[in-house]
Amino acid sequence: MTQDTILAPYACHPGQTRGRQHGESEDPLRTVFQRDRDRIVHSVAFRRLKYKTQVFVNHEGDHFRTRLTHSLEVSQVSRSLASALRLNTDLAEALALAHDLGHPPFGHAGEEALDAAMKPWGGFRHNEQTIRVMTRLEHRYARFPGLNLTWETLEGTIKHNGPLSDAPPEIAALEEQFPLELSTWPSLEAQIASLSDDIAYCAHDLDDGLRAGMFTLADLAPLPLIGEIFTECGEKFAGATPAQRQHEAIRRVMRCLIADLLEETRRLVAEANPASADAVRHAGRALAGFRPGTSQALQAIKAFLMARMYRHWRVNRMSYRAGRVLDGLFHVFLSHPGCLPEEWQPGPREEVGEAALPRRIADYLAGMTDRYALKEYDRLFNMQSLQL
C-alpha cells in the first residue's frame, strides 16, 4: 500500500506534486515532501534557530524556548493533527519546521528594528525573508540557489496566513517564475501548520512566562478556557510540586486546543466536501479552524500575553537593546560596506538597484544568531576590546 492510497482525497499526495522550480531527479527512498523536510532540517538557517530568541534571549535561561524548540513543538502538533485528518504528515511537518527560517535575531524586537531600518527600501518581514532563505540564501547545492523545495511547500509557506491579494516584490518576482496561485487558500496541511503555530506558542509562552515569574497561576484564573484548566489542576494535584501542576495544566491546554481544532476542521471539511487538494484551495474560505468560542478565548490569551509578557519591562529592555544592536550594525554596513565580511560585500549579484546593498545587509543581519549579533556589535562599537 503506497502513501497516496491512505491519504484523504483532499490531502496533498506526493505523487501529484506540481514539482520543483529547478528540475531534478527525485529520491527513490523518500517522497518529495520527506525530501523537503530533510532539506529544511539540514539547512544552515534551521540550525541557527537554536540561538535565536523566541521571547527570552538565549543566555537568560537554559529552559526557555528558542526559535528552534518552538519550531519543533509546532511540527509535533502539526504532524499529529495531519495524521488524525489523513493529511500528508510529511508536508505538514516540513511547513511547520520552515515557518520561522527567516526570523532575525532577538525575536519580534529584531524584526521591528530591521523593518524600521529597511523602511526606505520596502521594509522587512520575516515571512518574506523565509522565502528568500528557501529560494536564494541557502547555498548547499551546486546546480541551483536555495533549497529547491516543492511547489506545495513554497505555496504553504507563502500563504502562511491565507491568500495574498497584494504580493510584496519578493513574492511577486517568484510568482512570475514559478506561479503559486497567490489568490487562493493554501492546502489543508498549510492551514493546519499555521494554526499549530498558534497552539504551540500560546501554550509554551504561558509556560515560559510562569517559569520567568512574569505572572502567576492566580493571574490566569480569570482567562477563558485556560483559567478553569489551571484552577482544576491546582485543586486536583494539590500534593504535586508547582512545576508538576504547571506542566499538567499546559498539557491539558494543548490537548483542549488540539481537540477543538480537530473537531471544527472535520465539520468544515465535511460541509465543503472537497474532492482534492485543489478543491481545498478554491473553497473560498479556510477549511481548518477553531470554534468561535475557542477563537475568542485564544484572542483573550494572546492579549494577556501581550500585556503581561511581551511588553514586560524585562522584555522591553531586551527589545531596546536589540534595536540598538541591529540599527547600529545596519547603518555601519550601509555607510561602510567594506566592513562586511568578504562574501557579503557588494559585487555582481542577482539584485541590482539602490535597494541591493541594504537588502544584502538585511540578509546578513537576519541570518545572525543573537549571540553572533552581540559579538559583531561589540567588535564594531566597543573600543575597549580593540587589540592594537
126/333 Cα distance (integer angstroms): 21
The contacts of residue 363 (CB under 8 Å, 6+ apart) are 129, 132, 137, 344
Where are the chain's structural domains?
1-13+29-388
| Look-up of cell digits 541591493 | 356
Strand partners, 249: none
State the pTM of this model: 0.92
E-strand stretches of the chain: none
Q: Which parts of the chain have pLDDT scores under 50?
A: 1, 384, 386-388
Radius of gyration (Cα) for the chain, nearest Å?
22
Q: What is the pLDDT of residue 154?
A: 97
CB atoms within 10 A of CB 22: 13
Q: What is the per-residue pLDDT for 388?
A: 38
Report phi then psi at 20, rounded to 5.
-120, 160
- As a whole number of Å, the end-to-end CA separation of the chain is 69
- DSSP secondary structure string, 24-54? -PPPSSS-HHHHHHHHHHTSHHHHHGGGSBS
Domain 1-13+29-388 has CATH 3.40.50.20: no
